[in-house]
Structures are given as structure tokens and as C-alpha cells.
Structure 1
Amino acid sequence: MNRQQFMQAMEIHLRPMEPQERAELLADYDQHFELGLREGRLEEEIARELGQPEEIAKEALGDRYDAHTPGSDAFYAPTYQEMRSPRNSTKATRNFFTAIGLLFLNLILGIPLGLTLWSVWLTIASLSLLVLAPVAAVVDFVFLGQLDKAEIFVAIGAFGVGILFALAAKSVYKAFKKITLQYIKWNKNTMKGDVSA
């Protein structure tokens, strides 16, 4: 096999590769021939040293190489665009079924659990309104003119309990916000196909 035959075979077998990547690889092999010829070696000898174009292409392309395309000759390998199309449709199909799965997961589990969590927070936050008990006691005194000791103690106690619920509501809010954002991020990553995240 001479230089021209070798380079043509390489070009054919490397068709699935991106054009720029293929051009760089072909330039490297062409340079091997140039250097060998300067050293006085024959084209056939250089081609033999480099190896079989089909084997080189298999190694360079990895899982993109397909030697057994139906209805094609032994030198056929699909172009980069031909290789990309099925992958895109496969990706679209995967995205569709992932979206359907996430929709059902969110409808059955994610949304009800999320609403339950945030309802708990809303209850705790509502109970923090007990801090207004002293205001209610003052209003009662101003408009009705009566204020007994029991009402004062209840107002002070409710104020303290309200502060505790306010602190608890703040902590619970931070935790539930973090969980919710992580769940949303997980949904986005799953749709992108990033399973590790």
C-alpha cells in the first residue's frame, strides 16, 4: 500500500470523526510519510510500519467505529453527521421518558411531600404570632378597661412561646428551603442526564 492508498483508506475509515479532528489526525500520518521519505524509505515500508488504516481508525474512533453497516462495502464508515443523528434521537427519546418519569414521581411523591413539609413550616410560623399576645392584652385594657393578673401572665407566657416558635420557624425554613432547592437541582440534573449529581 502506497502513501495515496493509505491516506485514502484513512480518510474513509475516519469519516465518523469530526472534520477538524480528522484533518489533524490525517496531517499527523501525512507527516510520518514526509519524514520517512526524507530518510530514504519507501512509501510501502512506511505504510506497513504505521499499520492497517482500519485498525488505526478503530483505535482512534473507539465506540464511534462501525465496520458492519448493513448494505455497505468494507471501506464504508458513517460520517460524523450520520453518527450524530441516531444519538440525538436516542437522547430525545431518553429525555422524553425521563420527563414522564419525573412528572409521575413529582405528582405522586415530590409535590405532596413538599406541600406537607411547607405546611408544617406554615403552622410553626403561624404559632409565632403568639408574640402579639401582650399587644392583645394592652388593647383589651385600653378598650375594655380591665386587665387581671392571669391575663398578664398568659400574655407574657404566650409572648415567650411565640419567640420560641419564631426561632423554630426560622430554622425549619432554612432546612426546608435547602431540601427543596436540592430536589429541584436533582430534577434538573436528571433531565440533563447527569446521574451523579
Structure 2
Amino acid sequence: MNKDQFIKELSVLLKDLNGKEKQEILHDYEEHFQFGIEEGKAENEIAASLGSPKLLAKEILANYHLENAKGAQTAGNVMRAVWAVIGLSFFNIIIVLGPFIALVGVILAGWAVSIAGISTPLLVLLNNLFGSSFDLFEWFLSFVYCGAGLLLFVGMQGITKWFMHGFVRYISFNTALVKGGIK
């Protein structure tokens, strides 16, 4: 593979990056070729020493999405970082995706329980309007569940933030491990 083929393939694979960052990365690789040629190496030899453009693009995109997730820990950024890290190796499907799905399930269950608890007075009201007779004990329990739901709702906000931060750190660790070890 010569310089033009390498740069063209890398450019296509880095389509998710913004224009400025993509150009900086491509410029860096063009400089690698320039320095290699000045040292008397052939273009195909330089391309082979740099590695596969596909693997390079996967690593660059994983780092890019990981940095975005560290900066703004939104659900979209974290998901993009998870998928980019999974793309680094097949091993990551089990190591990253398994815990991610389990923790997302626990988070969603917590949110569902909190919302269900908060809505119990409304459900008891509907039950009394369209169904059974007025029962003071049902109302008492519905307010207890509502209070517990509100407490859980507040707790889930903190747990969700902690999860986002912790999982970004976990995939950063995993990415460093896949790339060649922890320093």
C-alpha cells in the first residue's frame, strides 16, 4: 500500500471526526511518510510499519469518543464511547458490553420503581373513582410509596451520574489495557 492509498483509506474511516481534527491526524500520518522517505524507506514499507488503517482508525475513534464522554458525560457520548471501545477487539464485547447492559438494566429498574412509587396516589385515586370504595389504608400506603419513590428518584439522579462517570473511567481503563497495558 502506498502513501496515497493509506491516507485515502484512513480518511474514509475517520469520517466521524470533525474536519479540523481529521486533517490534523491525516497531516501527522503524511509527516510519517515524509520522514520515512527522507530516511530512504519505501512507501509500502512505511505503511506496513504504521499498521492497518482500519486498526488505526478504530483506536483514533475510540480515543475521540472517549474524550468526548469524559468532557460531556451524556448518554449519547457514553454510548458512542462504549461502541468504539467494543470495536477495538472481540474480547471487549464480553468485557465492556456485558457489564454495561447489566448496569443499564439496574439503572432503568431503579428509575421505573421510583416513578411507579411517585405515581401510586394517582393510581389509588383512579381506583377509588372508577372501582372500589374509599379505603383510608390504601391512601396511607400510597403516600408512603410516593415518599419512598421521591427519595429513590433523588437517589437515582446521583446514582446515574456516578454510573456515567464510573463507566467512562472503566472504558478508559479497558482501552488502555487493549492498546498495550496500563502505565
With normalisation by structure 1, the TM-score equals 0.48
Q: 1:175 aligns with which of 153, 158, 162?
A: 162
2:104 matched to 1:118? yes
1:133 to partner: Cα distance: 0.5
* Other-structure match for 1:134: 121
Matches within 5 A, 1:7-156: 79-80=38-39, 82=41, 86-93=45-52, 96=55, 102-129=88-115, 130-144=117-131, 146-156=133-143
Instruction: Show structure 2 runs of 5+ residues with no match.
Output: 1-33, 60-85
Note closer, same or farther for the CA distance 1:170–1:113 as it changes in structure 2 (3 Å cut): same
Residue identity over aligned pairs, in percent, reads 19
Unmatched segments (≥5 aa) in structure 1: 1-17, 20-63, 65-77
Deviation at 1:83, TM superposition (A): 7.1
SS in 2 for 1:103: coil
Displacement of 1:171:
1.3
Match of 1:102, SS state, is coil
Cα pair distance change 1:183/1:117, threshold 3 Å: same
RMSD in angstroms over aligned alpha carbons? 3.9
Alpha-carbon shift at residue 90 of structure 1 (Å): 2.5
SS in structure 2 of the partner of residue 82 of structure 1: coil
In the TM superposition, residue 194 of structure 1 has moved relative to its aligned partner by: 9.2
The structure with the largest alpha-carbon Rg is: 1
Shift of residue 86, structure 1, vs aligned partner? 3.5
Shift of 1:187: 6.4
Q: How many pairs were matched up?
A: 123
Partner deviation per Cα, 1:41-66 (whole Å, 9 max, x = no partner) = xxxxxxxxxxxxxxxxxxxxxxx9xx
Deviation, structure 1 residue 159? 0.3
Separation (CA, whole Å) in 2 of partners of 1:101 and 1:140: 50
Once residues 119 and 94 of structure 1 are traced to their aligned partners in structure 2, the CA distance between those partners, rounded to angstroms, is 36
Structure 2 Cα separation of the partners of residues 188 and 95 of structure 1: 16
Q: C-alpha separation between the residues in 2 aligned to 1:145 and 1:118?
A: 38
